[in-house]
Structure 1
Amino acid sequence: MQLEFHQVDAFATQPFRGNPAMVYRLDHWLDAALMQQIAAEHNLAETAFVVKEGASWHIRWFTPSAEVPLCGHATLASAHVLFEVYGEPGEVLDFTCLSGALRVTRQGTQLLLDFPVRRAQSGALRAEVEQALGQPVEEVLALHEGQGVQELLAIMANEAAVRACQPDLAAVTRLPGLGLLISAPGEQHDFVSRYFAPAIGIDEDPVTGSTHCILTPYWAQRLGKSRLSAFQCSARGGELHCELDGERVKIAGQALLVASGRLLLPATWAGA
């Protein structure tokens, strides 16, 4: 069995910047355990699998160790592959996923993600978060979805504090939720952020589209504006243009194909 894959740097205008994602366009779904093994083999923050179902594309995302309900950069990467590699017609792609309906629109050199708002509420884990980060924070908020905490957001004093942060990843793993997001007002952007998710195999994610569904409504309310410029100041770094539109968040960025190849599996392999 041969499966074609494409690696894309999302939220980037040049190679080796932004956030890399692997994309598989499939004719039919593979077993979930196999998709998880493939994601572990690539060992990127996210590997996306897309299958055409009716008029839309069903998309699923896997970190090296878990399936996740929402991922921005790998959706951007998937749209780039469908448009540029497979020649999907038109300017709009509709996706369905565990988090509902998503849309990606091609606007010149940029792709615009249309994602649901995710609103975080004031939490009660400030002492634990400060211990994990090794420095004080102004506020801790929690995103609650399903049965408990999905993400934690810590607001810091300034961009310098975000850039200098060296969290205790073992302590971050013990916190509830998928990961810990830190953010502060930016020096050249409206806000900056970083995201740590060692519990799902991502010590630090380079650029995270889905967390901006949390950050955009927070900073829109705090700054009193609906259009915001954002920068995720990881080692690779990435710029995002965000807009709060009712209960939707629009996130624009660019993407670049950096590699393509084939995964080779024996036709008789039990995992296939």
Structure 2
Amino acid sequence: MRMYIVDAFTNTPFSGNPAGVVLLDAPADEDWMQSVAAELKHSETAFVEANAPEPHPLRWFTPTTEVDLCGHATLATAHVLGDSRTFETRSGMLTCTATGDGWVEMDFPADPGDPVDADPTLVDALGGVTIEHVERGVSDLLVVAVNAAQVRAVRPKATLAELPARGVIVTAPSDVDGVDFISRCFYPDAGVDEDPVTGSAHCTLAPYWARRLGKRELTGRQVSERGGTVRMTLSGDRVSLTGQAVTIARGELCV
């Protein structure tokens, strides 16, 4: 079966977030998909039944576990398949629309957070971050730092994995022209110490920054080592995430 490696949320090779994309001819065994994802070692690998009628069944696996929602691997899948596609996933129907010039718009459920107190484990794990605010979404903890420099400098401790959440998003107002906010995302409990660019995290980032900045259309920059840009439009309980992608490799999976 065909397999691809795609850098998502970028138009530059070897930046953004790399994802594996496997085109299935039929439903696959869950343990087998997990083994493939562990072999590829990307933060997520997408498995899509490409020949099935739309909505195409789509699942995502980290090297250690299946996840309910993954933005960059969905973008990578839509990029590989081309045109506009609808996928059936554990988070419901996801529609991807090609908008021209290599951009793909994805319609995702928004995941607004509720304010929570900063857990002592969280404060200790994030070290030098001065925490202004913490929210809890369905998936992640959103931590607002006092400035962009602290987001760029943070080096979380291993104890971050002990928190009762999929992962931790650290964000602050932007220090980049044309960008509303910056962020970094950490998922050690899912086998991903730092995710280069995280589409699903922007389902929580968008509601927070839309409320704080008073605007529905936003641009975020994830300032990991590889880096990537996500455009967002918040509309009720949905958020559109728009990004570009680059195919790095095409091959044949032999097992």
TM-score interval for Structure 1 and Structure 2 normalised by the shorter chain: over 0.9
Are the counterparts in 1 of residues 86 and 93 from structure 2 also a CA contact under 8 Å? Answer: yes
Cα distance in 2 for residues equivalent to 1:131 and 1:253: 34
Shift of 1:53: 4.0
Aligned to 1:93: 85
Cα distance in 1 for residues equivalent to 2:91 and 2:175: 33
Are the counterparts in 1 of residues 54 and 85 from structure 2 also a CA contact under 8 Å? Answer: no
Aligned to 1:87: none
Aligned to 2:175: 187
Shift of 1:239: 0.8
Aligned to 1:166: 155
1:215 to 205, 208, 233: 205
Cα distance in 1 for residues equivalent to 2:194 and 2:141: 14
Shift of 1:126: 3.5
1:33 aligns with 2:25: no
Aligned to 1:103: 95
1:1-272 mapped onto 2 (5 Å cutoff): 3-51=1-49, 52-83=51-82, 91-108=83-100, 109-135=102-128, 136-144=130-138, 150-168=139-157, 170-188=158-176, 189-265=179-255
TM-score (norm 1): 0.90
Higher-Rg structure is: 1
Shift of 1:240: 1.0
Shift of 1:124: 2.6
RMSD (Å), alpha carbons: 1.1
TM-score (norm 2): 0.95
Aligned length: 250
2:79 is paired with a residue whose SS is helix
Cα distance in 1 for residues equivalent to 2:85 and 2:251: 24
Are the counterparts in 2 of residues 11 and 254 from structure 1 also a CA contact under 8 Å? Answer: yes
Structure 1: gaps of 5 or more residues: 84-90, 145-149, 266-272
Cα distance in 2 for residues equivalent to 1:174 and 1:205: 18
1:64 is paired with a residue whose SS is coil
Identity %: 45
Structure 1 segments of 4+ aligned residues over 6 angstroms from their partners: none
**Larger deviation: 124-133 or 225-234?**
124-133
Amino acid at match of 1:223: L
Amino acid at match of 1:131: D
Aligned to 1:270: none
Cα distance in 2 for residues equivalent to 1:160 and 1:113: 30
Cα distance in 2 for residues equivalent to 1:55 and 1:199: 33
